[in-house]
């Protein structure tokens, strides 16, 4: 039978389309990295300007992007410049305190919900039941301690609570698990990782999300902190891939911050046990 070339032309068209999608998504990924590097080097004004441009471009992207998987990835990526801009702007009005995290992350939580609803992403899937808490809590505590300890040695974070009273510990736990941990895991695991895995594949999607998770900690000004948080992102992302549990990674993330900003600064790296 004569080869009309129709099949090969169709294959080339599909390949061309896939490459184009990769290139489109790579542009804001690289731009966000550049913006965070600007913050890392101390050029805050340039960082803010670039993040505003990125955010506006991603908001307007549906005007010229019709392919659904690409559009979904770009929509999820818009959460990163929004996170940075909210994080930078809040201390302008007040000192950074434990409660300031609520003002930073509440708008993000609402935005995450709207994006998930728009993209028909089920935030609470089969793996998000509470029946495995007897496994998840010890695992989250152990993982959270070692990540928190590594970060503490790197950035030597101060305590966000004055003491270890029950009231202070409950306040810290509420903010770090249910506000910060839950919201950031919604952003990086449920939305961004899920979408980038669709666009780049499971391994590449996990790796890219983890790199972005690390680079978004550039504000600490420590290269080692970037490496630690990127590595933590790989671990959290892998845990999410294997269990599908937003509960597990939220608790783990929350415990990292509880150790980092409360228990280790007040008790020492050995938590008073050794």
CB 239 within 8 A of CB 170: no
Predicted confidence at residue 8, as pLDDT, reads 41
DSSP string, 102-141: HHHHHHHHHHHHHHHHHTT--SS-GGG-GGGHHHHHHHHH
Predicted confidence at residue 117, as pLDDT, reads 86
Question: For residue 101, how many C-alpha atoms fall within 13 Å in the half-sphere facing its CB?
Answer: 20
Q: What CA–CA distance (Å, rounded) separates 107 from 112?
A: 9
Report the phi/psi class of residue 120: left, alpha or beta, with left for phi > 0 and alpha for psi in -120 to 50: left
**Helix/strand/coil for 272:** coil
DSSP string, 157-179: PPPSSSS--HHHHHHHHIIIIII
Predicted confidence at residue 158, as pLDDT, reads 84
CB 218 within 8 A of CB 201: no
Q: Nearest to residue 186, comparing CAs of 85, 90, 116?
A: 116
DSSP state of 261: I
Predicted confidence at residue 121, as pLDDT, reads 77
- DSSP alpha helices (H): ranges in the chain? 6-40, 44-60, 68-77, 79-93, 100-118, 133-155, 166-173, 182-185, 194-200, 202-215, 223-243, 246-258, 264-267
Q: Nearest to residue 179, comparing CAs of 101, 85, 96?
A: 101
Listed as ranges, residues in the chain with pLDDT below 50 are: 1-19
CB 55 within 8 A of CB 78: yes
CB 160 within 8 A of CB 261: yes
**Helix/strand/coil for 51:** helix
Predicted confidence at residue 128, as pLDDT, reads 62
């Amino acid at each position: 039978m004569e080869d009309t070339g129709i099949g090969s032309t169709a294959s080339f068209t599909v390949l061309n389309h896939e490459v184009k999608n990769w290139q489109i998504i790579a542009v804001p990924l690289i731009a966000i990295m550049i913006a965070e590097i600007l913050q890392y080097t101390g050029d805050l004004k340039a960082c803010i300007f670039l993040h505003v441009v990125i955010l506006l471009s991603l908001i307007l992207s549906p005007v010229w992007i019709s392919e659904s998987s690409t559009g979904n990835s770009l929509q999820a990526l818009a959460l990163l410049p929004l996170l940075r801009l909210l994080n930078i702007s809040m201390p302008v009005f007040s000192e950074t305190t434990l409660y300031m995290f609520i003002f930073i992350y509440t708008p993000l939580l609402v935005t995450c919900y709207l994006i998930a609803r728009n993209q028909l992403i089920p935030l609470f899937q089969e793996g998000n039941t509470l029946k495995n808490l007897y496994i998840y809590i010890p695992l989250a505590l152990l993982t959270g301690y070692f990540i928190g300890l590594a970060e503490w040695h790197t950035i030597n974070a101060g305590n966000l609570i004055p003491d270890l009273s029950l009231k202070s510990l409950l306040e810290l736990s509420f903010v770090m698990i249910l506000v910060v941990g839950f919201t950031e895991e919604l952003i990086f695991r449920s939305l961004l990782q899920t979408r980038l895995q669709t666009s780049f594949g499971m391994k590449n999607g996990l790796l890219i999300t983890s790199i972005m998770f690390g680079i978004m900690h550039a504000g600490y000004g420590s290269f080692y902190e970037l490496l630690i948080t990127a590595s933590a992102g790989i671990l959290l992302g892998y845990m999410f891939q294997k269990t599908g549990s937003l509960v597990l990674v939220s608790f783990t993330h929350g415990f990292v911050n509880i150790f980092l900003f409360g228990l280790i600064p007040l008790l020492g790296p050995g938590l008073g046990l050794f």
